[in-house]
């Protein structure tokens, strides 16, 4: 691997590592110089704010649908935290989760909508968590006029992926292989693709994004260096970093 090839991890949970600083150092050594650390709860968000350095690590905070009921009060302070810290580049992960709903669907929808409105007021991108709810989340944000959204750990099919890309939204490719994922990568223009690890929950480290980019490169029939450069550029331009 060319030492000058740089990668970006569009979504991980850096605060969940036993040693976040080591995870960052190891990732930088592997060529991953851009890491999006994402929160999702009243507990995680302040930790993410503390880890963002504005150089290699940038923060994304919000209330995940899992915590829509328990942590909804945090949303009252969300805009102020984001406004007060330039290292926080997006609101997320937010959205809908109908797989193991710990909050009622109507509660999730209201919390999601509140946070989308905040993001639009602040002109910030959103990072969406959608499980068994991709199409509903898509319709909601299109109807609300959202311009910048990244669908984290995209689980939809190629038809939905192309619809999202047509609206300028980003499709985030996660670790692991499946025929469905390969079809999505093949169908969507690389200008609408980013790579993520969702580590340490799925990937072991942000450095694992290298393997995700290699998979994208193989399916797109392009060099790994080109896939790395383009997916990294997508992340940096999308999040204004």
- Report the CATH number that the domain containing residue 12 is assigned in CATH: 3.20.20.140
Domain presence at residue 96: yes
Report yes or no on 1 lying in a domain: no
Mean pLDDT by 10 residues, the chain (241 residues): 82 98 98 98 98 98 96 97 97 95 92 98 98 97 98 97 98 97 98 98 98 98 98 98 96
Q: Is residue 110 part of a domain?
A: yes
3-state secondary structure the chain: CCCCCCEEEEEECHHHCCCHHHHHHHHHHCCEEEEEEECCCCCHHHHHHHHCCCCCEEEEECCCHHHCCCCHHHHHHHHHHHHCCCCEEEEEEEEEECCCCCCCHHHHHHHHHHHHHHHHHHCCCEEEEEECCHHHHHHHHHHHCCCCEEEECCCCCHHHHHHHHHCCCEEEECCCCCHHHHHHHHHCCHHHEEECCCCCCCCCCHHHHHHHHHHHHHHHCCCHHHHHHHHHHHHHHHCCC
pTM of the model: 0.97
- 2: in domain: no
pLDDT at 101: 72
pLDDT of residue 236: 98
What's the pLDDT at 1?
43
- Count up the domains in the chain and report the number: 1
Range of the domain at 201: 7-238
Per-residue pLDDT at 3 = 56
Looking at residue 100, its pLDDT comes to: 76
Predicted local distance difference test score (pLDDT) of residue 2: 45
Tell me if 51 is assigned to some domain: yes
């Amino acid at each position: 691997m060319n030492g000058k090839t740089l990668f970006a991890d569009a979504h991980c949970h850096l605060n969940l590592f036993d040693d976040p600083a080591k995870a960052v150092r190891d990732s930088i050594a592997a060529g991953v110089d851009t890491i999006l650390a994402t929160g999702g709860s009243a507990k995680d968000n302040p930790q993410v704010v503390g880890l963002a350095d504005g150089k290699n690590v940038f923060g994304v905070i919000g209330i995940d649908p899992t915590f829509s009921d328990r942590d909804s009060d945090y949303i009252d302070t969300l805009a102020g935290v984001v406004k007060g810290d330039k290292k926080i580049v997006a609101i997320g992960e937010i959205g809908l989760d109908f797989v193991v709903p710990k909050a009622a669907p109507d509660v999730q929808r209201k919390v999601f909508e509140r946070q989308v409105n905040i993001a639009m007021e602040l002109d910030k991108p959103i990072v969406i968590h959608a499980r068994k709810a991709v199409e509903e989340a898509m319709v909601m944000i299109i109807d609300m006029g959202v311009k910048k959204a990244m669908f984290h750990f995209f689980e939809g099919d190629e038809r939905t992926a192309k619809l999202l890309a047509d609206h300028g939204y980003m499709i985030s490719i996660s670790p692991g292989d499946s025929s469905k994922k390969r079809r999505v990568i093949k169908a969507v223009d690389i200008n609408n693709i980013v790579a993520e690890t969702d580590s340490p929950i799925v990937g072991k480290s942000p450095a694992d994004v290298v393997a995700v980019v290699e998979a994208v490169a193989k399916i797109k029939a392009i060099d790994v260096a080109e896939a790395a450069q383009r997916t990294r550029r997508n992340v940096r331009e999308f999040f204004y970093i």
